Amino acid sequence: MKISDILQERKDPFLSFEIIPPARGRSAREIYEIIDELIEFKPPFIDVTSHAADSYFIEQDNGTFTRHIKRKRPGTIGLCAAIKYRYQLEAVPHLLCQGFTKQETEDALIELNYLGIDNVLAIRGDQLQYQKAHPMGREANEHALDLVKQISNMNRGKYLEDILDADESDFCIGVGGYPEKHPDAPSKNADIRYLKKKVDAGAQYIVTQMFFHNQDYYDFVAQCREAGITVPIIPGIKLVTRKTQLRSLPHAFSVNIPDELVKSLELAETSHERAEIGIKHALEQCEDLLNNGVECLHFYIMQDVRLVKQVARLLNIS
């Protein structure tokens, strides 16, 4: 079932989740254990992230640095298939521009189509330190807009090569939105204009980056509607329960954390106290969103599935 249809047909609010494939060499069992814990909330879909190859540096004893290539994290397509048929849930694989050629993207879309996976999230992905060399004659999508256009073309039976009587795919395309502005956008208005282009190109729903001030989300939705964007806009929720996140989340995702939340977490003496503070903030945030008519809350799951479950249970949504 398409996410756009789920959003249109569901009468009551619901939860969805985003998970990360296990690291190379790890078993899918750890992902199944996470989903087993989340299944009680009856999510109609689960997102699975994708990761390209990247580089990192290791300092040597002599003070020099050596560069190493970290291979891409595999498993997105396989996990999506497992989720769909093991749990009878819709799975939404993330497709990236960064680190993948258009040909690799087309191959992935064909495999997903064969597997009966009807939904994809098209995003640019983080800027990479490692840029792999593309074989001669191959190129990558530079922006998410280009990726949306490629998927939309396949939905019309138009592939990278001219294929006579090619079958049309039927993917529901989601894209990302940034309530606090994409870090590379020159302004909020420019960011909204670019988002509108993605919707005009075929995107059918938007999932936002995590945010911690609900007013940022409300303002973002209002700007989108004013710009003529009418597709559903799903808010992304992330729990902040550790001191390290006060620096890592703003650095990695260009988000602002409320001063009162920062102060509370910094003053807390134990991990239990910090968890309680993060749960309280997320719960208040979610309740306010629901009271203002939001139909879906999308939780970003990392190491905090146990804490997310506490919030979800307190929301009493199933």
More confident residue, 125 or 38: 38
Cα→Cα distances 202→105, 107, 260, Å: 17, 20, 40
Residue 74's pLDDT is 64
Is residue 276 annotated as a catalytic residue, yes or no?
Answer: no
Task: Report the distance separating Cα 240 and Cα 64, nearest Å.
Answer: 36
Q: Is the pLDDT of residue 30 over 90?
A: no
Contacts of 255 (CB under 8 A, 6+ apart): 180, 209, 210, 211, 212, 249
SS3 19: strand
Question: Residue 22's pLDDT is what?
Answer: 84
Domains defined for the chain, CATH in brackets: 3-315 (3.20.20.220)
Q: Distance between CA atoms of 167 and 88, rounded to whole angstroms?
A: 26
pLDDT of residue 54: 38
Q: What confidence tens digit (pLDDT) does each residue in 128-160 have?
A: 444 555 565 568 899 999 999 999 999 999 999
Q: What is the pLDDT of residue 102?
A: 95
> Distance between CA 175 and CA 95 in Å, rounded?
10
pLDDT band with cut points at 50, 70 and 90 for residue 51? low
Average pLDDT of every residue of the chain? 89
Query: Is pLDDT above 90 for 246?
Result: yes
Confidence of residue 26 (pLDDT cuts 50, 70, 90): confident
Q: Which of 9, 18, 106, 226 is catalytic?
A: 18
Q: Under a CB-based contact definition with an 8 Å cutoff, are residues 170 and 118 in contact?
A: yes
Residue type at position 149: K
